[in-house]
Structure 1
Amino acid sequence: MHVSILVPENSVMQAIADPQYLFSAVNQFMTVAGKKPLFDVQLVGLKKQVKLNNGLYSVTTSKLLKEVQQTDLVIIPALFGDMKNAIMTNEKAVPWINKQYANGAEVASLCVGAFLLASTGLLDGKKCSTHWGFQSEFREMFPKVEVVEGNIVTEEERLYSSGGAMSYWNLLLYLVEKYTDRQTAILVSKYFAVDIDRDSQSTFAMFQGQKNHTDEAIKQAQDYIDTRIHEKITIDELADLVVLGRRSFERRFKLATNNSVLEYINRVKIEFAKREFENSRKNINEVMYDVGYTDTKAFRTIFKKITGLTPIEYRNKYNKMVTEQS
């Protein structure tokens, strides 16, 4: 099958080299096993020479886009720098991506390559994953696309997307398993030392407050929440603070932050709890009380829902002091 790895300008070098390396390695493994190599891998682009990282690197493409009439899989690597500028720089690649999809090709975006994929319109009305740190910007730019928080891999109607940074390895393994078999995918995961079944980026996500909006009343409520992490805050208390009716306040809060009020409060508190687990010797109950929870079961449930790990698992994973004591 034909694999076309797009080489956009303003893209990440590793996100081009890694899929090329991986699919080539699969071919080698298949040859050793007495099978025919499956993947015909080519680097394709608008230019023969594409400069990356402000000219620090240069990639030579195998074919220009106009020379590729049909392919089976298009891989869009992660972009670099300002996303709007990166999309504008590569807008001439959009018709080619749409054409290949219309001809039956599957399209996979790696990390923030989702921005270029979304600019094609193919993701409108569909689900998508991208780097957790860019989700708010992505939603603002592409309101018709449903961002799936936490997912490492999202698939819908021959369109694939992955979570942040090195999460794209899990999407690449997912595709290897789909086109070959589970045994080959496991072999590849061991060779590249990648956890084949990791399905969430929630553990790595840092909640950034989502204040990139213009509703000053909601920003006031957010600042109030941020400075009262140790307290139990109610929705009525916040609504009264900004002189809004409860229903109006909840509606505007959701519109501005893409979180319900309670979701936002919990995420702010859990983000603080994560930092405490990472940098202090406090036990679970001490941290729980520090962020205003009194019910151990409720705290554990909310923490795991947001991070993908229990409080104990998170502390043991990220706190060096705890590790050294073990």
Structure 2
Amino acid sequence: MKHISILVPASDAVVGSIEGPHKVFTQVNALLRSMGREPAFHIELVGLTEYKTFNNGLFTLHADRTTQEDFRTDLIIIPAPHGDMREAIALNSELIAWVKRQHQQGAEVASLCMGAFLLAATGLLDGRKCATHWIAAHDFRLMYPNVTLVDERVITDEGGLYSSGGAYSYLNLVLYLIEKYVGRELAVCIAKVFQIDMARGSQSPFVIFRGLKEHEDEPIKKAQEFIEANFQNKISVDELAAMAFLSRRNFERRFKKSTFNTVAEYIQRVKIEAAKMSLESSRENVNEVMYSVGYSDTKAFRALFKKLTGVSPVAYREKYSRKEAA
């Protein structure tokens, strides 16, 4: 039987990312018992203290064990902290050290959503891939430059170090772990019970692109604002560099350093974000949307749209348009 430790953070946290995995793993055991089989998991909540309140006292969780006790675990689940990530890391320093010790003794570790910040703080992800909520991608890259963030991914598996994308996509990681430990048949059954879409592999359809401007490079910030105000027109790198009074090479280097995108990537993302908004709210057909954001090559536009969102323009409209929803 595999021992699972779901952490109860010392900071505020998303309680659903603690209760949710506990519920799903517990359901696995219940299904196994109904089949006359032994339970697969021994699931415990583990914290620094026996009780911890969340959401300004709205919820109180009772830990089954504390990290002061002497025991070994097989899998640690790090839920999503809530609030300022640097503060969360400081408050959870003892838990982070405990995770490192358990990993050294053979435990696997899985982070859910923003829990990636705590997992990365252990140093175990250095040189490895990781996912987290797309909304925190810029902050994560700034804080952990040695970790390869794959912000479009829903799940990563780096040799016993797992991570999931944003919000409820943690359920896809839980399903992945169930399939790995217990088998595909049971994972499919659980997916049906909880109505989880097993096919999700990308966060891209959910991403809202907002260019990073929390930097101190004013010429680059002005270039970003110019792109966002004039994306319908053809914009060249040379034009932007001249506006910033920089050489092209220096401009491109500073732009990538500040925004984590090349100039071309940034322009593409701004255009596709505008196209997404049109597909969600307007009655324009795909070609009309394409022309409105400055593209004229249908094949190139559709290919870029799918590359950045994970779906075709038509599929995106079917999923998110107000008309389709009605």
What's the TM-score once normalised by structure 2's chain length? Answer: 0.98
Which secondary structure state, in structure 1, belongs to the residue aligned with residue 197 of structure 2? Answer: coil
Specify the alignment match of 1:166 in structure 2: 168
- Residue deviations 1:60-86 (CA, integer Å, cap 9, x gap): 000001215210000000111111111
Residues in 2 aligned to 1:10 and 1:18: alpha-carbon distance in whole angstroms = 16
Specify the alignment match of 2:199 in structure 1: 197
User: Compared with structure 1, are the counterparts of its residues 99 and 300 closer, same or farther at alpha carbon in structure 2 (3 Å cutoff)?
Assistant: same
How big is the shift at 1:323?
5.0
Specify the alignment match of 2:190 in structure 1: 188
**Within the alignment, does 1:67 sit opposite 2:64 as a pair?**
no
Which secondary structure state, in structure 2, belongs to the residue aligned with residue 74 of structure 1? Answer: strand
Specify the alignment match of 1:310 in structure 2: 312
Q: Which runs of 5+ in 1 are unaligned?
A: none
Contact 2:133–2:151 under 8 Å retained in 1: no
Alignment of 1:1-326 (within 5 A): 1-8=2-9, 9-322=11-324, 324=326
- Residue deviations 1:150-195 (CA, integer Å, cap 9, x gap): 1000111211000000110000000000001100100000000001
Contact 2:154–2:202 under 8 Å retained in 1: yes
Which residue identity lines up with residue 294 of structure 1 in the other structure?
S
- Residue deviations 1:197-247 (CA, integer Å, cap 9, x gap): 210010001001111111111111101100002111111111111111111
Residues in 2 aligned to 1:87 and 1:314: alpha-carbon distance in whole angstroms = 37
Residues in 2 aligned to 1:66 and 1:99: alpha-carbon distance in whole angstroms = 12
Contact 2:306–2:312 under 8 Å retained in 1: yes
Contact 1:232–1:292 under 8 Å retained in 2: yes
Contact 1:281–1:322 under 8 Å retained in 2: no
Residues in 1 aligned to 2:169 and 2:185: alpha-carbon distance in whole angstroms = 21
How big is the shift at 1:32?
1.0
Let me know the Cα RMSD of the aligned residues. 0.9
Residues in 2 aligned to 1:103 and 1:54: alpha-carbon distance in whole angstroms = 35
How big is the shift at 1:149?
2.2
- Residue deviations 1:11-51 (CA, integer Å, cap 9, x gap): 11100001100110000111111110010000000010011
How big is the shift at 1:322?
3.9
- Residue deviations 1:114-168 (CA, integer Å, cap 9, x gap): 0111111111111100000000011111111110021000111211000000110
Residues in 2 aligned to 1:66 and 1:243: alpha-carbon distance in whole angstroms = 59
Residues in 1 aligned to 2:159 and 2:263: alpha-carbon distance in whole angstroms = 33
- Residue deviations 1:239-296 (CA, integer Å, cap 9, x gap): 1111111111111111111111111100011111111111111111111111100100
Residues in 2 aligned to 1:68 and 1:173: alpha-carbon distance in whole angstroms = 29
Residues in 2 aligned to 1:197 and 1:310: alpha-carbon distance in whole angstroms = 16
Residues in 2 aligned to 1:69 and 1:95: alpha-carbon distance in whole angstroms = 15
Number of residue pairs aligned between Structure 1 and Structure 2 = 324
What's the TM-score once normalised by structure 1's chain length? Answer: 0.98
Flag as ranges the 4+ runs of structure 1 deviating above 2 A. Answer: none
Which residue identity lines up with residue 76 of structure 1 in the other structure?
I
Residues in 1 aligned to 2:240 and 2:287: alpha-carbon distance in whole angstroms = 27
Which residue identity lines up with residue 249 of structure 2 in the other structure?
R
Residues in 2 aligned to 1:88 and 1:265: alpha-carbon distance in whole angstroms = 37
Contact 1:154–1:160 under 8 Å retained in 2: yes
Which residue identity lines up with residue 5 of structure 1 in the other structure?
I
Q: Which runs of 5+ in 2 are unaligned?
A: none
Which residue identity lines up with residue 3 of structure 2 in the other structure?
H
Which residue identity lines up with residue 219 of structure 1 in the other structure?
K
Residues in 2 aligned to 1:142 and 1:22: alpha-carbon distance in whole angstroms = 31
Residues in 2 aligned to 1:68 and 1:220: alpha-carbon distance in whole angstroms = 56
Which secondary structure state, in structure 1, belongs to the residue aligned with residue 38 of structure 2? Answer: coil
